[in-house]
Amino acid sequence: MTRIIALCISIALLFLPQRLHAGSPYIEGDQASIENYVFNEGTSWMFGTTMDVRRASIGENIVGVVVTSSASLTKNYIFQGFLSLRLHVPPVPPDYEYDIDFINAEEYQGGLPIGAGIWFYDSDPYFYWSIKSPGPDVVGYSIAFDELPDEFVDVAGSEYQTPDFYLSDGKHTFYVVAKNTEGSFGAPGGFDIWVDTVRPVITNTLPENGKTVNQLRPAIEGTLFDATSGIDESAIVFTITTDLDEYTVSGTYDEETGLAAFIPVEDFPDGLVTVRFEVTDKAGNEAVPLFWSFTVDTSKPEGWILINSDAPVTDLQAVTLNLFATEVVTEVTEMIVSNDGIFDEEEWEIYKTVIEDWDLPFIAGTRTVYVKFRDSAGNESQVYSDAIVFVMIEPNTFITEAPQSVTTAVAASFAYTATISESKFQYKLDDDEWTDFTEEIAALFEELEEGNHYFQVRAGIDLNNNGTIEEYEIDPSPAIVSWTIGTLSTIPFEAKQPIRYYKKE
């Protein structure tokens, strides 16, 4: 009994499952159906007991071993006291003489070589390979993409042309395994083939096509996109053409944003700049070159302004502005006009040569109007200006009622008016101070002393609507009347000119 147990343990250890060789088309743990086994008999001796050892195979591939104590075999039959086992064994002999030595790839037979694990634009490459050392005749090779080959021969020779456009864009692995006349397989070889057949795309170029810029060194930019292999930073090329030169430069690239850019190190001359933008992805696909142009304009507009065709004086608040501006490279597009030259509340408007009814500040004196011009590139001119004297028509004052030139009455009343309606008046008697302005159009004085007296009145109006009647808004020549209370008329003062006295008829 002890011998039988030892025998069972020995056989079990001998035939414990083993990991298949890497070149086998099977993987560890594969099982085959016993119904179609073909048995090739052999004999082995163990502990003095005759044991029949048979190899179970499917076709030419060994898939298991059956060990029994009798030549009369049935499926998994166990005789009393003996052990029956079915185990996987590697299909490759231990010397691996049919292992793949190398694999090479080309765009087509005799075409450009393709590196393993390097992006390339070909979806139907040509492969060729060799085994490490010759053994029994090789009957052919099994090949596959992205999975280990099966046990069936696909090609007889050591080369393979992928069908046209067979591989999709992305990363693939080409596998090949050799099979010999004994039905054994060598270790498979693999070749990483990375395919990208789509061109990169260029979008969002700056400066925009047709745009005018006022920078001497504007950044030239474009957004790049490539879905598979990515942009080859060494293949970003800008060809710059100006009125003076043409040259080719490389650009920087930000992989996260996709932005490619070239920052000039020298000033562009004013004028047209044309850009040709080329880029290639890591697989060698060239983007469709993109052309665009923009204009560099750093010169400032020049011009002038005239008020009322350069008239020196006006008595009207509304004036006419005549304007002119010119630009060397582009054109003048905007202007901004101001009465104070600060340009803080004014807004840019479309350039024009005439502005009618421009209101001056309603203040008498020299008034100045200021203007700046701007071209399509955004260049602003210096400030231009013109001045004019604004003469305001102040009211004239008239006395319409006053005492007789000689009278014994000690009371005197006066009435007055002005040439501008809504005027206000102030007056004074003899050497008194001027009264405040009021809307009253009459004045009365009582209990006057005998002797000579004089009365002055002047009109004023708040023309500029600032709430105060300024000096220039007051009649500069007050209306004056003098009279005597008593029997004799002696006027001890020199009359002021002009003296206006109007008596009601």
pLDDT score of 316 = 87
For residue 135, the model assigns a pLDDT of 63
Q: What is the DSSP letter of 122?
A: -
The tokens for 118 are 């390097």
**Do the domains spanning 302-390 and 397-485 agree at the CATH topology level?**
yes
**CATH architecture for residues 397-485:** Sandwich (2.60)
Query: Does residue 32 surpass a pLDDT of 90?
Result: no
What backbone phi and psi angles, to 5 degrees, belong to 472?
Answer: -75, -5
Of residues 405 and 78, more confidently modeled: 405
pTM: 0.55
Q: What is the arithmetic mean of pLDDT over 259-279?
A: 96
Dihedral, CA atoms, 201, 204, 208, 214, nearest 10 degrees?
A: -120
Instruction: Tell me the three-class secondary structure of 142-185, residue by residue.
Output: EEEECCCCCCCCCECCCEEECCCCCCCCEEEEEEEEEEECCCCE
- Of the candidates 408, 411, 413, 406, the one whose C-alpha atom is nearest the C-alpha of residue 447 is 411
pLDDT surpassing 60 at residue 15: no
Q: Give the pLDDT score at 138.
A: 86
- Find the helix or strand (DSSP H, E) in which 249 lies: strand 246-250
Can you spell out the DSSP letters for 18-39? Answer: -PPPTTSSS-TT----GGG-EE
Query: Strand pairing partners for 401?
Result: 415
- Amino acid 22: pLDDT: 33
Determine the Cα–Cα distance for residues 10 and 1; give it in Å rounded to an integer.
Answer: 14
The average pLDDT across 8-25 equals 36
Q: How confident is the model at residue 410 (pLDDT cuts 50, 70, 90)?
A: very high
CA dihedral 403, 406, 408, 411 (to 10 degrees): 20
Query: What's the mean pLDDT in 373-396?
Result: 92
Take residue 74 and report the two structure tokens written for it. Answer: 């049935």
The lowest-confidence range among 70-84, 395-409, 427-441 is 70-84
Architecture, CATH, for domain 302-390 = Sandwich (2.60)
Residue 136, pLDDT score: 65
pLDDT of residue 146: 96
**Spatial distance between the Cα atoms of 453 and 459, rounded to a whole number of angstroms:** 21
Q: Are 172 and 157 in contact (CB under 8 A)?
A: no
The CATH code for residues 212-294 is 2.60.40.1220
Percent of the chain with pLDDT over 90: 66
pLDDT at 493: 46
Strands 170-180 and 189-195: antiparallel
pLDDT grade for 395, boundaries at 50, 70 and 90: confident
The CA–CA distances, whole Å, from 96 to 44, 133, 144, 184, 187 equal 26, 9, 20, 9, 7
Predicted local confidence at residue 64, as pLDDT:
45
Domain extents in the chain: 2-68, 100-195, 212-294, 302-390, 397-485
What would the mean pLDDT of 386-404 be, rounded to a whole number?
A: 91
CATH topology of domain 100-195: Immunoglobulin-like (2.60.40)
H helices within 403-469, ranges in order? none
* Cβ-contact 303, 373 below 8 angstroms: yes
pLDDT surpassing 60 at residue 377 = yes
pLDDT in tens, 143-197: 999 999 999 999 999 999 999 999 999 999 999 999 988 888 888 999 999 999 9
DSSP string, 86-107: B----SS-TT-TT-EEEEEEES
The two structure tokens encoding residue 120: 């390339």
Cβ(64)–Cβ(89) below 8 Å: yes
Predicted confidence at residue 69, as pLDDT, reads 39
List, in sequence order, every beta strand (DSSP E) within 301-383: 302-307, 313-314, 318-326, 332-338, 349-350, 354-359, 365-375
Min mean pLDDT across 50-54, 278-282, 305-309 is at 50-54
pLDDT at 200 > cutoff 90: yes
Q: What is the pLDDT of residue 499?
A: 43
CB 183 within 8 A of CB 137: no
